[in-house]
Structure 1
Amino acid sequence: MVRVGLHNSHEQVHPSALLAATQQAEQRGFDAAMCSDHWAPWSAGQGHSGFAWTWLGSALASTRLPFGVVNAPGQRYHPAIIAQAAATLSAMYPGRFWVALGSGQNMNEHVTGDPWPEKDVRDARLVECVEIIRALLDGEEVTHDGLVTVDRAKLWTLPDVKPLLIGPAVSPETAARHARWADGLVTVNQPPEKLRAIVDAYRSAGGRGEISLQVHVSYAPTADEAFELARSQWAGNAVGPPLAWDIATPEEFDAAAKDLPDEKIHEAVVVDHEPARMAERVAELAEIGFDAVYLHQVATDVVVSDEKHPHATATVTPAPSSLEAFVDLAAEHLLPVLKQVRA
């Protein structure tokens, strides 16, 4: 059966509210959780970006759920630091932690002041980082001189159960490359034909482990409210690659998303005001070949004024408890349907 998890968007919701929602999700029958790892939000209107690794310690300590995080080693994070962080969480919470390792986005990485590399360089740098992290988790002393530099690094606290190193992909090409090193794959909702291509590319290239799907959804009581919530909160994400990898600030994302066609929003977000229909639509995506589905309600706890953020079109302002309300709705209407899908 497909496992159902809750995605925690640090870009949109205060970390305390995310923690409360995750604890509630465990009580209501969710099987797992994951979170983003951003320096900045996708839009100035989202208004948050808590530190994922601090939050993960609290989340793992206060629930019994397995957790994952999507991370980009190589620039903002040195791979030895990520290896140490992942090893410590895995040592404390055996078998409950995984980390997805990607090539990153300029929005999160430019804060170091280092130049933002071209995509082929970023991809090569990621492979180096994965090799370094694996070697450290194996207990080796690592010295490396390449796109990243490591000098005589060794982890002194190793986990009994190593964390899975997952490959995040939004294209078949990236999925196939990740199959060379990843313990599993995670992607995000896109048109079904593209999701099938991603799954097929990973498996055809010999990809092992489970494949997970993070599904952005926008639920509100009416169709108009649900769509306006999706546009105001997730249009920046819907801009998509390659532009999304190179934009440097939330304000630039707002500008790029200002005139985004409605159909692009619908490609990036499952928008619906009828819970039963939303459950069916997400189940259809899960049936493509996913072992786990992580639900992300695209809501924020920040009140946005048009004067402060002129590019934001937030006609819907969810209350701080909106994520917890979605957890209740999902537990009643989505989980019973999704958990019937066979992985």
Structure 2
Amino acid sequence: MVRIGYTMMTEQAGPRELVSHVVGAERAGFDFSVISDHFFPWLDSQGHAPYAWSVLGAAAQATSRIPLMTYVTCPTFRYHPTVVAQKAATMQILSGGRFRLGLGSGENLNEHVVGAGWPAAPVRLEMLEEAVGIIRRMFDGESVSHHGVHFDVENALLWDLPDQPPPIGIAVSGPRSCEIAGQYGDLVIATEPKRELLRAFDEHGGSGKPRIGQLPVCYDTDRDAAVARAHDQFRWSLGGWKVNAELPGPGGFEQAAQHVRPEDVAAAIPCGDDVDAFVDAVRPYAEAGFTEVALVQVGGEHQQPFLEWAEAKLLPALRDL
């Protein structure tokens, strides 16, 4: 059975609302939750970008059962890997062992703010690999001194370590990231139901480890309203990862998505209240071998109706997968 998760989408809701939403997701029976870690929204119409780690701390105290996870944090530009290790260890303690640390090589949208430039993808993956090594050593309780190609660390030690370190997930989109995920990750993260990504992950040591996907959906009893909202706030998602990782701000995504039509979005994102359409959208992930799928309900002000509908109709239908 595929586990179904809920996404706290920081780009479309404020911090207090996000905490309220994940409380509702726990009540509705979602199996886990994830949160995006962004400095900007993708589009101005989304309208938010609170600090994910503050929201996570509040969510850990406001909930008691639902697992929490970053989806994903970049540990190489805005955050130094030692700081990520400290934040993740603290979250694991606050949540009572419910936290998983999802990591990725980042997007220019969020990381350009520190003025460190935006290197080519192979360099970003080198940085990710080095960062994960530092974080793992700190999770092991080492006093870490490290002088590598990309990072310097002097006597970094975590004074508050959880009984069990948070599992590390690594986002993948191609062969090199799958190699890093298989070697260093406890689980793999992807945003597309591509079987070849999971095969590459398995070939590098990922066999038997969890694999988590993510899918935007747009529930509304009025399907036309759902399509319009999905087009307004999520048309950027059709650009593909090679584009989405490179653009530096919402204005760039506005231009890149200017020719995306509502019908294009409706073909990619299930919209409305047809349970079968939502199940059909999740099915490719299950068939590809994903063990978990996190749903993103589009529209910050439309979470409560979605959660109520999911509890009553969608989650029971998805359990059959």
Relative to the length of structure 1, the TM-score reads: 0.87
Q: Is the 8 A contact 1:46 1:233 kept in 2?
A: yes
In structure 1, which of residues 115, 121, 125 is the aligned counterpart of residue 127 of structure 2? 125
Partner SS, residue 255 of structure 1:
helix
Aligned amino acid, residue 317 of structure 2: V
The answer for the alignment partner of 2:75 in structure 1 is 73
Aligned amino acid, residue 310 of structure 2: A
The answer for the alignment partner of 1:152 in structure 2 is 155
Q: Is the 8 A contact 1:172 1:197 kept in 2?
A: no
Matches within 5 A, 1:53-202: 53-64=53-64, 65-69=66-70, 70-145=72-147, 146-171=149-174, 173-188=176-191, 190=192, 192=193, 195-202=194-201
Aligned amino acid, residue 63 of structure 2: T
Matches within 5 A, 1:215-234: 215-234=215-234
Partner SS, residue 180 of structure 1:
helix
Percent of aligned pairs with the same amino acid? 35
Supply the distance in 1 between the matched residues of 2:53 and 2:101 (Cα, whole angstroms).
11
Q: Is the 8 A contact 1:276 1:333 kept in 2?
A: no
Residue by residue over 1:100-156, the C-alpha shift from the partner in whole angstroms, topping out at 9 and shown as x without a partner, is 111111110111111111111100000010000000111111122221221111111
Q: CA 1:268–1:186 in structure 2 vs 1: closer, same or farther (change >3 Å)?
A: farther
Deviation (angstroms), 1:219: 2.2
* 1:330 aligns to 2:310 (yes or no): yes
Q: CA 1:283–1:330 in structure 2 vs 1: closer, same or farther (change >3 Å)?
A: farther
Q: Is the 8 A contact 2:84 2:135 kept in 1?
A: yes
- RMSD over aligned CA atoms reads 1.8
Deviation (angstroms), 1:264: 5.5
The answer for the alignment partner of 2:294 in structure 1 is 294
Q: Is the 8 A contact 2:275 2:317 kept in 1?
A: no
The answer for the alignment partner of 1:311 in structure 2 is none
Q: Is the 8 A contact 1:215 1:270 kept in 2?
A: no
Query: Aligned pairs, how many?
Result: 317
Q: CA 1:114–1:274 in structure 2 vs 1: closer, same or farther (change >3 Å)?
A: same
Partner SS, residue 82 of structure 1:
helix
Supply the distance in 2 between the matched residues of 1:160 and 1:16 (Cα, whole angstroms).
29
Q: Is the 8 A contact 2:78 2:113 kept in 1?
A: yes
Deviation (angstroms), 1:284: 4.3
Deviation (angstroms), 1:227: 2.1
Q: Is the 8 A contact 1:226 1:273 kept in 2?
A: no
Supply the distance in 1 between the matched residues of 2:277 and 2:112 (Cα, whole angstroms).
41
Gaps of 5+ in 2: none
The answer for the alignment partner of 1:306 in structure 2 is none
Aligned amino acid, residue 338 of structure 1: L
The answer for the alignment partner of 1:205 in structure 2 is 204
Aligned amino acid, residue 155 of structure 1: L
Deviation (angstroms), 1:267: 6.5
Matches within 5 A, 1:247-286: 247-260=247-260, 265=265, 268-286=268-286
Partner SS, residue 10 of structure 2:
coil
Supply the distance in 1 between the matched residues of 2:143 and 2:232 (Cα, whole angstroms).
48
Q: Is the 8 A contact 2:285 2:293 kept in 1?
A: no
The answer for the alignment partner of 1:22 in structure 2 is 22
Q: CA 1:263–1:240 in structure 2 vs 1: closer, same or farther (change >3 Å)?
A: farther
Aligned amino acid, residue 3 of structure 2: R
Gaps of 5+ in 1: 301-319
Deviation (angstroms), 1:2: 2.1
Deviation (angstroms), 1:97: 0.4
Q: CA 1:133–1:327 in structure 2 vs 1: closer, same or farther (change >3 Å)?
A: same
Q: Is the 8 A contact 2:226 2:271 kept in 1?
A: yes
User: Higher mean Cα deviation, 149-158 or 121-130?
Assistant: 149-158
Partner SS, residue 150 of structure 2:
coil
